Structure 1
Amino acid sequence: RIIPPVVALAGRAAARFGGVPASLAAGNATRNPRRTAATATALLIGVSLTTAMIVGAASTKATAEAELRASYPTDVIVTSHGEEIPEGLLDELSGVGGVATGVSLTSTEVTGPDGFAERAFGVDPVAGGQTARSGDAGVPDVGEVYLAAWLAESWGIRQDAPVTLTKDDRSVTLTAQVSETSTAITMAATDLSVLDAEAPVGQIWLRLVDDRGAEAEAVTLNEITRLAGQTILGVEVAGVTSVRQALTSILETLLLIVTALLGVAVLIALIGVGNTLALSVIERRQENGLMRALGLTRGQLRGLLAWEALLVAGVAAVLGVVIGAGYGLAGTSAILGQAAALVLDIPWLQIGAVVAVATVAGVLASVLPARRAARTSPVAAMAT
């Protein structure tokens, strides 16, 4: 019910710019409201579903990246779960194209309030601050210890509370900073050295050059993984970049498949627009002939049908985007709202492309009916 009134409203606005053809098109588009609504609804549904997928995928990616930034302090984290990381590996990895800077972290086993051993990492606050990306999973100052939220809850430790860590007969008391970091315990390297003066290097943080694009980041990440794997057995390469690459690949593949399927639905809807216009040309054959006899040119008749298609397809596309964006945001909120802090993202460029493609395709669907109407002579049309 809403489509014909919106088409009529858009037609009045178009009449100011399109002259007589646009004014006549507005009247023709709403002459049969049910047919107009049925034609536009098919296109509206296709555009709505496409927009919902685009907005949903973009919001899912934005939410996931926000969670990644909270979980990982920097772009790439190389962790050894076995042997010590050689001193020269940091320089080797820092020389990979696309790497901006890096820092080594020492590592040792420490005992917490629950009496169980946990692996802790020590980072230089200055070098770590130059390498880190996220404040939430960032770099502790001297006297602080960053605890993963799950570990702090297990220990019964709250934000800014003192926590004592021990190793053999040595201990250190630090101020707890609770975060969503993926690393259980991170402290300043000087504090870790109090517990273990000979703690080996167990982790490397690497920060990549900004704004290099997904493909360039993938090349850099693959080279880092190759070099680390050649040097260390049991190495793990994680961080924001690696997880984001995997997530982006999954979302892009899913979006490509769904968009292709929905593109077929939109194409079918546009065929419906062309069929509706062809039917209207047949029904208004005498009327079109009379207008031609009264001075309407062939070009104006083609323009009339193009405006009619533009109004129907344009209104359907715009309404489809509005409805689809709403469904996309609602769906993302329902799926991710309980698991993470939702970050809404509306990719206006892609949505604008959907509107433009649907509208232009609708106008192109009017070409054959308009050609048929324009080629019919006024006398033959009125004699039918």
Structure 2
Amino acid sequence: MELLGLSLSLLALFVSFGFMVGVLFGFFGMGGSFLITPTLLILDYPASVAIGSGLAFYFGTSVIAVIKHYDVGEVDYRLGAVLFVVLSIGIELGSRLVFALEALGVAELVTGLAYIFLLAGIGLLFLRRAYNLEDDDDDGEDVDDDNIPPIGQKIQSYTVPPMISLTSGGRASLWTISGAGGGVGIVSGLIGVGGGFIRMPAIHYLIGTPLTAAVGTSLFAGLFSGAYGTFTYGMSGSVDLAVVSMLLVGSALGAKIGSAATTVVEENDVIVYFGLMMLFASAGIALSELSEWIGMEGLELVSVLLLVGSSFVVALLILSEVVRTVDVDDSHAQTTSDGGD
């Protein structure tokens, strides 16, 4: 039995996977296409379809996130507008590169290798950040989560005109913004992600904005670049609407739960969860590529478990934190009530 051209098992997989990615999206403020695209590749979807569908999913989920961050004033609109322009140019170049690689028959290989190194690198960056924060806590130092990283402060110290004033304070060179945004755009078009997992660190570390502003501005810029990327791939018939629809059905509920969880989970835990998830996802894709090279089908199953399982485990950890906090609050309320009798 099939629905929308998908078997019941695939329907269940995409809806449940969409739910878990939605939890992660609401929690981390990132669209989750960095998990969707490699999963579709592992399920033997063509590279262009996996990439186009990943971008379409990102666009759908990012609309909710932008509204949320707009309400709390965490969006630098001027910076986001400039990033949108350079991201769009980069995505166009990246998408053209994908179709050229497909003509050569190496698109899946290049995309897989790019994922392996990018996810591992970003994962290690986040874990290092968590380690440094832990050291600061142990030393009794005050830690400001919105602090601009030293590398961002150093880059901002080079005043190469034209300069743009940032809403969060400070100024950044248009050349820095263009270089960071254009590079992220090319990668987004090449590997089929909204780019949140590399765009947000680029805004935070290279352009030099506080973390909360980096997340909100990243989502704002990604909303438009995601729409442009979806249009680019959609025009060539490389967006599977059935898959995207099922993923969005699941993510709609998951995103609300993930957003609520941000108020009960420690910042350091957020960084650790995300870093570990990236490393497991990188390992999963690496095993998938290895299985194709040596022809060992068992590794393909392990790769799926690592890639999909890592997101499920992290999402469950987030959900467990929410449940634990609710139970503690209920117990405290009950104790207070009993004490007042």
In which range does the TM-score fall when normalised by the shorter chain? under 0.3
TM-score (norm 1): 0.25
TM-score (norm 2): 0.27
Structure with a larger share of its residues in helix: 2
